Amino acid sequence: MSASSPRPNMPHLNALRAFEAAARLGSFSLAAEELYVTPAAVTQQIKSLEAWAGMVLFERHAQGVTLTDATRDALPTLTEAFDLLGSSVHTLVRKARPRAIKIAALPSIAQFWLSPRLSALRDAVPGLEISVTARETLPNLKREPFDLCLFLEKSSDASGAIPLAQDEIFPVCAPSVAQRLAKRADLAAETWLNDENWSGDWDRWVSATGGGIPQPASRPVFSLFGLALEEAINGAGVLIGHRLLVGKHLQSGALVAPFPDPVPLVRQLFLRIGLGAGEDPVIAEIVNLLSREAAVPAA
Amino acid sequence: MSASSPRPNMPHLNALRAFEAAARLGSFSLAAEELYVTPAAVTQQIKSLEAWAGMVLFERHAQGVTLTDATRDALPTLTEAFDLLGSSVHTLVRKARPRAIKIAALPSIAQFWLSPRLSALRDAVPGLEISVTARETLPNLKREPFDLCLFLEKSSDASGAIPLAQDEIFPVCAPSVAQRLAKRADLAAETWLNDENWSGDWDRWVSATGGGIPQPASRPVFSLFGLALEEAINGAGVLIGHRLLVGKHLQSGALVAPFPDPVPLVRQLFLRIGLGAGEDPVIAEIVNLLSREAAVPAA
DNA sequence: ATGTTAGATTTAGATAATCTATGCCTAGCA
DNA sequence: TGCTAGGCATAGATTATCTAAATCTAACAT
């Protein structure tokens, strides 16, 4: 018997959070990604929790970790607790600023689909303060207090999400470049521009429209769709464009579509509503507006 | 619109915890007590959360704080989240060390009631590792992972707790002192010893047994019952003793009860079982043993 | 009114928690 | 054998958090 506890009654909350993430994801590295820290930080947090509890929490394997029999039972409750924490934080900030809307979106969607439509939203809802966070992957809405998410997802993965628009791809280029393109085969002589994240787009379009076009000499890759788009507008080559993202430039004439044979993509633009934001009238209004906006080419 | 969030998506967990405690208790000072920090620390945590949220979370009053209309709704979920956190931590440590039992008790109960009975527990359950934490007040079992609590409580406050024993008070002293005490009135010439936490005991006993004894010249007060007890054994005066605490010394003869007119107290010794510990067979065994032990004077 | 009190705040400085950077280690795999 | 993924260890830097002590404020009692 010790007369008083040699350690505090509760472990560090941050260590608990790291444990929960690592246990749920089965990997310290993935947990580190979710928490926006380095894997070493997760290792240390877990170690501190193990020291506090006086027990080993994970079985370490070469590729990842798994919970031990003793710790597995604690995970569901722990996950629920942190989910509740996230949702109560969301409730808190929504009550505080009912007209502040936090949107997470793919960087390209944010810049070329959402951005042109934001002024319509602001006109419709006076006093709206919209924050847009660009993210490569869908955030965990149970943890991060976003009100809306705009991501390209496969229908099969998107249960509970609202489909906004079908995406399709086709080549686009500056009008000056288009003059050189009388037939599809002429593309072989051009530079093919594309986004790093959609590296298969050109091949998909070529084969879906009949194939038979040899690879061009030059296929530069850009880490952001916006950079590739800029190059295309400057006449540096032909971009494989997404209808959702190039509508504005087609309308303005900065880009043209020399071969308007659209190839539909499996991924569609889906809208997701954050937990606890569903009943909010302002959010509901935004959702309606975005659904309508999705039907028209661009703002 | 800002292109990416200027602040992290979640506030600091410690700030959230401070907020929850302060909101639930309606006071920064009480929250500080619960969290074992100074009130200034709570103030700072709340300030940091308010800065993060960009809103005022509390209405500050002269005696305490209250939630604003905007923040009140978030509290129940937040409280539930932290309760779940506490309970999952408890689950974790219980699984890890099923024979480690954490008991919280009043300091005097721990030392003079529980301690003499611990060896009986250890004999009954091999491998038992008992930790005893002395606490002046009943811990919040939803937050702190104790398995058992032993406190003196009024029956009206003790719903859900198991009554173990009735407490009663009567004067005790060393045999040498008892020789001077032929009748109750002789007490007026002695030094009256008592514990700081039970300062009303002497007066309660005197009036309940008929009154009529003038205050003695000397009434030293001790911050711990153990100190007063030590003095009594050394013949420094007459202690107003609790049956639950002096049984062992009465048996050994170190103390005697010159006027065995016990006065029952409103508070009884109650046993509480920690959340998630109820189904544990080891805990159940301990509970049974303690209930039986409570029936006999001392070990 | 005036002092008293409970309770929140402010600030500076100290302490502790936490992170990153770096390199190492191990198991699985080609 | 070398490569890769992923966890581990350490040092040092950076943040977060705490305490201590002095204020401040409104309610309450004289």
pLDDT reported for residue A297: 60
Q: Domain limits of chain B?
A: 13-73, 87-164+267-295, 167-265
Beta strands B221-222 and B58-61: pairing type? unpaired
Asked if the Cβ of residue B36 lies within 7 A of any atom of strand D, the reply is yes
**Separation of alpha carbons A197 and A168, rounded Å:** 15
- Percent of chain B topping pLDDT 90: 60
Per CATH, the architecture of B87-164+267-295 is what? Answer: 3-Layer(aba) Sandwich (3.40)
The spacing between the Cα labelled CA in A101 and the C1' in D30, in angstroms, equals 55
Kindly list the residues from chain B whose CB atom is less than 8 angstroms away from the CB atom of residue A17.
13
pLDDT band at B289 (very low <50, low <70, confident <90, very high): very high
**B42-77 pLDDT per residue, tens:** 999 999 999 999 889 999 887 778 898 888 888 999
Residue A104 near residue A139, CB atoms below 8 Å: yes
Domain A13-73 matching CATH 3.40.50.12160: the answer reads no
| Mean pLDDT, residues A27-39 | 93
The two tokens of residue A90 are 């969301």
| Dihedral angle of Cα B158, B162, B165, B168, to the nearest 10 degrees | 0
Q: Which DSSP state fits B14?
A: H
**Matching fold, domains A13-73 and A83-162+267-295:** no
Asked if the Cβ of residue A191 lies within 7 A of any atom of strand D, the reply is no
- pLDDT at position B299 over 60: no
The set of strand D positions with any atom below 7 Å of a protein CB reads 5-11, 16-22, 25-27
Q: Quote the minimal CA–CA distance from A271 to chain B in Å.
A: 19
Distances in Å between the alpha carbon of A34 and those of A31, A39, A116, B6, B262? 5, 10, 30, 18, 64
| Mean pLDDT, residues B13-26 | 95
Per CATH, the architecture of A167-265 is what? Answer: 3-Layer(aba) Sandwich (3.40)
How many CB atoms lie under 10 A from the CB of residue A287?
19
| Mean pLDDT, residues A152-180 | 93
The partner residue sitting opposite B84, judged by closest CB among A53, A80, A86, is A80
CATH code: domain A83-162+267-295 is 3.40.190.10
**Separation of alpha carbons A112 and A22, rounded Å:** 35
**A63-110 pLDDT per residue, tens:** 778 898 888 888 999 999 999 999 999 988 888 788 889 999 999 999
The spacing between the Cα labelled CA in B39 and the C1' in D24, in angstroms, equals 15
How many CB atoms lie under 10 A from the CB of residue B287?
19
Residue B136 near residue B245, CB atoms below 8 Å: no
Q: Which residues contact B109 (CB under 8 A, 6 or more apart)?
A: B150, B151, B152, B244, B245, B269
**B135-191 pLDDT per residue, tens:** 888 888 988 889 999 999 999 988 889 999 999 999 999 999 999 999 989 999 999
- Which has more confidence, A8 or A237? A237
pLDDT band at A218 (very low <50, low <70, confident <90, very high): confident
